[in-house]
C-alpha cells in the first residue's frame, strides 16, 4: 500500500516572500478539483503545469494516510475537472533544505493570502530542521487540508490570520 507521511505548517508570509529559497525554487501552477471529500476518502484531479493526476487519499491518522496517485491524460483531467464543484488554485514552490524537500503553496483566489508548507518524511519520527519562515504545525488541523479549503475557502473563515 502507498503511504504518505506528511507534516503541514503555516508560513510566515513576509519572511518567505523575501527568502532566497523562494527566489531559487522550482515553481508549478496547480489547479485541483475534488470528486469526493469525505473523511474516509478524498479523490482529486490535479493539473500541474502540463501534466495531470488522479489522486485517492484515505483517512489520515495524524501525519500518515494511504495515498495513490496516477498520471492520467491531460484532456481527461480537463473533462473530469468540469465535474468538480470545489476547486483550488495555487502556486507550488519546491525547496530543498537540509536533505529534505519542502513544498510551499501560495494559494490564490478565495484562499489568498494563505501560504502553507508541507514536508514528506520516510517515517513519522524522522527528524528535520525547519527553515526560518516556518511557523505553527497544523498537520492535525483539517481546516487547512486542500479538500477542506476547496469547500470552505480561507477568506470565508471568521478569524483567518
> Which residues belong to the active site?
34
Supply the DSSP symbol for 61.
Answer: B
CA nearest to 9, candidates 105, 152, 98? 105
Provide Rg for the chain, Cα atoms. Answer: 15
Within 13 A of 133's CA, how many CA atoms are on the CB side?
22
Cα separation, 30 vs 93, whole angstroms? 11
- For the beta carbon of residue 62, count every other beta carbon within 10 angstroms: 11
Grid cell in block for residue 55: 489522486
- For the beta carbon of residue 154, count every other beta carbon within 10 angstroms: 20
Amino acid at each position: 500500500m502507498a503511504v504518505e507521511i506528511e507534516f503541514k505548517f503555516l508560513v510566515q508570509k513576509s519572511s518567505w516572500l523575501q527568502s532566497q529559497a523562494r527566489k531559487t525554487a522550482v515553481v508549478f501552477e496547480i489547479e485541483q478539483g475534488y470528486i469526493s471529500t469525505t473523511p474516509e476518502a478524498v479523490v482529486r484531479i490535479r493539473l500541474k503545469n502540463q501534466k495531470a493526476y488522479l489522486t485517492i487519499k484515505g483517512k489520515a491518522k495524524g501525519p500518515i494516510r494511504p495515498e495513490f496517485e496516477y498520471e492520467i491524460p491531460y484532456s481527461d483531467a480537463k473533462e473530469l475537472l468540469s465535474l468538480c464543484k470545489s476547486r483550488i488554485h495555487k502556486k507550488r514552490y519546491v525547496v530543498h533544505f537540509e536533505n529534505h524537500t519542502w513544498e510551499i503553496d501560495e494559494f490564490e483566489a478565495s484562499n489568498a493570502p494563505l501560504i502553507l508548507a508541507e514536508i514528506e518524511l520516510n517515517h513519522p519520527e524522522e527528524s528535520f530542521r525547519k527553515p526560518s519562515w516556518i511557523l505553527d504545525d497544523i498537520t492535525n488541523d483539517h481546516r487547512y487540508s486542500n479538500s477542506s479549503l476547496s469547500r470552505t475557502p480561507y477568506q470565508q473563515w471568521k478569524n483567518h490570520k
